[in-house]
Structure 1
Amino acid sequence: MTDLAALEARVRALEDRLAVLEEERPGGPPPAGDFWALDTLTARYPAGALVFAGHVKLPTGEQYGWQEGESLPDLLEADWQAAAPALAALGHPLRLTLLRAVLHGEQTTADLQAHPGLAGAGKLYHHLRELQAAGWLVPEGRGRYVVPAQRVIPLLVVLRATGQVEAGAAGGES
């Protein structure tokens, strides 16, 4: 290999590595003015579309990645009433506390009963049943509950979409 060919190969390799680093954007979310997702959606779906995606590593060590999308015409024509039970299940502060505790690793009924604000087995089991019926929790083994993998990121998106839950904001129980 000539010196020039070797140099060109090294430059290409460095450019490839730089491209990967620029894509990863370590250290937090993309800058506020960076509308790469919106620009892509606008170009690809002129009639409009919605997409949400994410990748998370929970305090329990579990990692999830998820992506959903829907065209605007399809979403506007969909049966919105079908979403009512899932949204209603999230409408109680104790259920949100339960979901947060489970995502933080408090997954057994004993852990959840010991959690501040969740004491009282009757109250706990009532809310566990409501979250299970709506698909936000599933039993895994005896007395252990998890948020199903396919619901982790949608749950976090719904919470953030309320405009009331912001990363780094103080408050709530965990």
Structure 2
Amino acid sequence: MEEAVDNRFAELERRIAALESSTPTGVSTAVDPEVFFALDALKERVSAPGAVLYTGSVTLPDERQIDWQYGRSTSDVLEADWAERASALAALGNPVRLTLLREIMHGQTTVSALSEVEGLGTSGQIYHHLRQLTAEGWLHSPSRGVFAVPPTRVVALLAILVALER
């Protein structure tokens, strides 16, 4: 009996070690010296206490190219009033709004087109969510009845989504 328990513990330890050493799909590791090229460059340019930087080069489904980089010093971020950002985050905290943003980035830019996407609700409900996203700067309307994610928010939105991966 004791041997069976030891074998089970050994198997559990092996499985835990395998899980802890595995790398999720799409996540880089430090094995390749080029993996942290952006981090290494940031460290060369910024002294303690450091900085937070996000950057991206994105080709959207409509072939628009978005290149963006934004950073803040660690001190600026830690000393800021985080509560001021709550409404911008809250606007993203709704599955319908996230679906709207994804669909708009995929070219469904009018309420008529968005109304055809299953699960988004009525045109009135869609307008309600579009107003919330527009008020917080996640969307703008470049022409009447057309919605788009502003270029300055594309990489930020994608970075937030990547940051939420587990």
Structure 2 distance, partners of 1:30, 1:123, is: 37
Q: CA separation in 1, counterparts of 2:27 and 2:129?
A: 36
Deviations 1:93-140 (A, max 9, x none): 000000000000000111011111113112111101110111101112
TM-score by length of 1: 0.73
Matched residue, 1:45: 46
> Pairwise CA RMSD of aligned residues?
1.6
- Unaligned residue ranges in structure 1 (runs of 5+): 1-28, 165-174
CA distance in 2, matches of 1:30, 1:41: 19
Q: State the number of aligned residues.
A: 136
Partner of 1:132: 134
The 1-side partners of 2:133 and 2:75 are apart by: 30
Determine helix, strand or coil for the equivalent of 1:110: helix
Give 1:79's aligned amino acid. Answer: D
Task: Supply the distance in 2 between the matched residues of 1:32 and 1:99 (Cα, whole angstroms).
Answer: 30
**Is residue 95 of structure 1 aligned with residue 97 of structure 2?**
yes
Q: TM-score, normalised by structure 2?
A: 0.76
Amino acid corresponding to residue 32 of structure 1 in structure 2: T
Residue from 20, 23, 29 that aligns with 1:32: 29
In structure 1, distance between residues paired with 2:71 and 2:79: 15
Equivalent residue, structure 1, for 2:112 = 110
- Matched to 1:117, the amino acid is G
Distance in 1 between residues matched to 2:62 and 2:41, nearest whole Å: 33
Q: 2:68 aligns with which of 50, 58, 66?
A: 66
What CA distance in whole angstroms lies between the structure 1 residues aligned with 2:147 and 2:153?
Answer: 13
2:143 aligns to what SS in structure 1?
A: coil
Alignment identity in percent?
48
Deviation at 1:60, TM superposition (A): 1.2
- In 2: Cα distance, 1:67 partner to 1:110 partner: 33
Match of 1:80 in 2: 82
